[in-house]
């Protein structure tokens, strides 16, 4: 039986001074997460949700001092150390991950745009890790700007359990130190290669111009109103790669040629991308590269469209960073309930529909929060 969700957070160190602890920490965290599940976005909405659901929360929480105000929620999360919060999040996600072996873990960054515009001296850019098969956000770390992903990614890798996984990162993370750190975590890597490594890119393109490929893998996709042909070519002969020995466990270079035709218009686009990897099997490499886009579609897009994160104006203290983590908790809670959802719903429904159901159905909200 899995450990109750809130048990990972209710014993966090409370940063408030004793005379300010009118409401227990677990009350503030539980009401906020439940409110976010049900679609509440502002501190005022969260406070009103708590009052509307007072009878519901009284079954699980000690409400002898009533319910927190919107200012209590705002001050609490603005002052909460995100490192403490993120550590508990990591412990929780580790308990949920069923099997990380051969799992594709995608790492990518996202800026909370509105909060960053309102606080230009401290932009909110978060680097997250997504496990595709488990459909779990594994962790996040903040960096001041996108260019600092190079330093943020190693810090995130340090706290993740990655043994046996395949880590995919875009060109910003194509760094020797990052490749070494992944290998030292007993994982494999597939790193996108672009113009930030001009010499290496030139060596790779020359290799594909003059050397035979070790293996090919081709796919054809007819979904989403388009026809897409993708060809993955792999070369394991690294004779033209001048700096190959400085890349830890580099075993192959990769070229992806894709051709996309829009069915309705017949418009065609073509693209060629390059990668370096510690893997050698074309099918495995191709699947890992394609899986990387899951972090864009199932995390970043979901946060912006379903949760309105890009338009969030939370900017005081650590509020934006902590609330982004709460949004990620909600995504994990809903997606981790898919076995029960498959029994409950005849047809597949979206994350927003599930959030609306939780608002009206207390039984479903309890199920998502794993309160019983």
- Cβ-based burial of 366 (10 A; exposed 0-12, middle 13-18, buried ≥19): middle
Return averaged pLDDT per consecutive 10 residues of the chain, 372 residues in all: 80 85 93 96 96 95 94 95 93 86 93 57 81 93 75 92 95 95 97 95 97 94 85 97 96 96 88 97 97 92 87 78 94 90 84 94 92 59
**Residue 193, phi then psi, degrees to nearest 5:** -120, 125
Note the pLDDT of residue 314.
Answer: 72
Residue 154: helix, strand or coil by DSSP?
A: helix
**Side-chain-side CA neighbours of residue 323 (13 Å):** 32
- For residue 328, give Cα distances in angstroms to 54, 89, 197: 25, 9, 33
Residue 191: helix, strand or coil by DSSP?
A: strand
92-112: b (≥16 Cβ within 10 Å) or e? bbbebbeebeebbbbbbbbbb
**Rounded to an integer, what distance in angstroms lies between the CA atom of residue 243 and that of residue 183?**
18
- Cβ-based burial of 215 (10 A; exposed 0-12, middle 13-18, buried ≥19): middle
Say which DSSP state 219 is in.
E
Contact indicator for 115, 314 with CB cutoff of 8 Å: yes
Note the pLDDT of residue 371.
Answer: 66
**Rounded to an integer, what distance in angstroms lies between the CA atom of residue 346 and that of residue 87?**
37
Q: Which domains does the chain have, with CATH numbers?
A: 5-84+315-369 (no CATH), 195-280 (2.20.130.10)
For the record, the structure tokens of 368 come out as 């998502």
226-235 sheet: strands from edge to edge: 136-143, 125-131, 104-111, 166-169, 188-193, 268-277, 252-262, 226-235, 215-221
**Rounded to an integer, what distance in angstroms lies between the CA atom of residue 190 and that of residue 132?**
15
Contact indicator for 319, 43 with CB cutoff of 8 Å: no
For the record, the structure tokens of 60 come out as 């699980």
Note the pLDDT of residue 118.
Answer: 44
Phi-psi region of 336 (alpha: psi -120 to 50; beta: other; left: phi over 0): alpha
């Amino acid at each position: 039986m899995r450990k109750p969700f809130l048990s990972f957070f209710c014993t966090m160190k409370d940063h408030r001074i004793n005379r300010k602890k009118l409401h227990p920490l677990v009350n503030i965290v539980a009401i906020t997460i439940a409110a976010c599940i049900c679609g509440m976005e502002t501190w005022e909405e969260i406070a009103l949700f708590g009052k509307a659901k007072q009878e519901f929360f009284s079954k699980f929480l000690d409400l002898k001092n009533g319910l927190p105000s919107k200012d209590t929620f705002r001050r609490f999360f603005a002052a909460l150390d995100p490192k403490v919060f993120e550590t508990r999040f990591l412990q929780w996600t580790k308990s949920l991950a069923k099997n990380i072996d051969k799992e594709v873990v995608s790492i990518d960054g996202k800026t909370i745009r509105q909060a960053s515009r309102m606080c230009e001296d401290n932009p909110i850019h978060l680097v997250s890790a997504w496990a595709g098969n488990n459909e779990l956000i594994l962790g996040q770390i903040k960096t001041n700007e996108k260019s600092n992903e190079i330093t943020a990614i190693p810090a995130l890798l340090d706290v993740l359990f990655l043994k046996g996984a395949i880590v995919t990162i875009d060109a910003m993370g194509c760094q020797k130190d990052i490749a070494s750190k992944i290998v030292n975590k007993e994982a494999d890597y597939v790193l996108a290669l672009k113009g930030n490594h001009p010499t290496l890119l030139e060596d790779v393109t020359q290799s594909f111009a003059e050397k035979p490929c070790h293996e090919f893998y081709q796919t054809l996709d007819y979904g989403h109103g388009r026809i897409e042909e993708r060809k993955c070519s792999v070369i394991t002969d690294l004779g033209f790669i001048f700096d190959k020995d400085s890349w830890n466990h580099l075993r192959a270079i990769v070229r992806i040629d894709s051709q996309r035709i829009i069915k309705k218009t017949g418009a065609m686009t073509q693209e060629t991308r390059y990668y370096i990897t510690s893997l050698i099997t074309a099918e495995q490499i191709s699947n890992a590269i394609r899986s990387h886009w899951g972090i864009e579609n199932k995390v970043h897009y979901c946060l912006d469209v379903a949760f309105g994160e890009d338009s969030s104006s939370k900017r005081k203290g650590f509020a934006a960073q902590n609330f982004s983590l709460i949004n990620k908790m909600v995504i994990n809670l809903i997606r981790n309930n898919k076995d029960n959802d498959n029994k409950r719903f005849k047809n597949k429904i979206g994350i927003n529909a599930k959030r609306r159901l939780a608002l009206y159905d207390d039984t479903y909200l309890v199920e998502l929060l794993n309160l019983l």
